[in-house]
Structure formats: C-alpha cells, structure tokens
Structure 1
C-alpha cells in the first residue's frame, strides 16, 4: 500500500526494475515530475525498504538505485498496476 501513496512511486519502482537506475535518467523518463518530487519519493521508497541507494565514491559523485529483496517481491503488484 505504501508504494501507491506517491504519484510517481509505482513508475519509479517499475523504471528501476526495468534497468533505469540513475537519477538523471529517471528524471528524463518522468519529465513531468520535478527533480525535488522524485528525490522525495525515492527517499520514501528507500525508507520503506523497497529501494537501496548506492553511492560510488568517484571524482564525480555517482548514484544508482536498486530494488531490495523486498522490492523484488512486490514487483508483481506494480506489474498488476501497470496492466490495462
């Protein structure tokens, strides 16, 4: 139920599941949502244990998101929401 609370949460989970892991690419995929809103909803998904945030210590900061084991178990709910 927590996944469906945010307007973009289902789309974010689906995009990460589909292989879009970088914040910039997520922003381009959901261009109608502001970066601030996406960051807020990504943090909510992290707090609920659905996503993990991986920060790579490189010269230019690199961040990626991945589904947790729990997130992978709830992907069928997202699949049902994406179906017509």
Structure 2
C-alpha cells in the first residue's frame, strides 16, 4: 500500500493519470481538466510521474514548442486502481 501511494498518492497525480487513460494530452488540456491545480504544481506532478516511469513526455521541436504527455505501459497498469477509486468515489458521493 505504501509503495502504491508513494507513486500515485497526493491530490493531483491520480487525477492526472485518470485523464491520461483516455489518451495523449497536451499540458494545456490537462490544465483545463484541473482548474484548481496551479501550473507549477501540475508541472511538478508530471515530472514525478515521468521519473517514476508512469508518464512519457514528448517534446516536438516546433515554435512554440509542443509537449504531449501519455501513459507508458507501466502507467497503464494502474488503470484498474484508478477506475476502482473513481467507482468508490461515485458511491461515496451518492451516499452523502
């Protein structure tokens, strides 16, 4: 449990990973999905996920530079956990 939470724990990592389940996203797209997350925090979370091998960052040599984020095969392995967390959260909200 501790190892899992050390990688996907925190306020934004799970949400970022969940949005990347649907496919590649540019930084701006992720920002729109996370309006309460600051640009700095999103950058830090993405860097940590990249360092842990869950997210792949691709930089295209264009002006202005274009950057895309996507899940690695290892990152895809957390899909059942993320879907389970979403399902539990929906049940919890319905209970309130």
TM-score by length of 2: 0.81
- The structure with more radius of gyration: 2
Task: Give every structure 1 segment of 4 or more consecutive aligned residues whose post-TM-superposition deviation is greater than 2 Å.
Answer: none
Equivalent position of 2:38 in the other structure:
34
Residues 26-82 of structure 1: per-residue CA shift (max 9 Å, x gap)? 111110110100100000100110001000011210000010010111111111111
Equivalent position of 1:7 in the other structure:
11
- Aligned mates of 1:19, 1:51 — CA distance in 2: 11
Q: Kindly indicate whether the alpha-carbon contact (under 8 Å) linking 1:20 and 1:26 is maintained by their aligned counterparts in 2.
A: no
Equivalent position of 1:66 in the other structure:
70
Q: CA deviation at 1:18?
A: 1.7
Q: Kindly indicate whether the alpha-carbon contact (under 8 Å) linking 2:55 and 2:70 is maintained by their aligned counterparts in 1.
A: yes
Task: Name the count of aligned residue pairs.
Answer: 83
TM-score by length of 1: 0.92
Give unpaired runs (5+ residues) of structure 2: 89-96
Give unpaired runs (5+ residues) of structure 1: none
CA RMSD for the aligned pairs?
Answer: 1.1
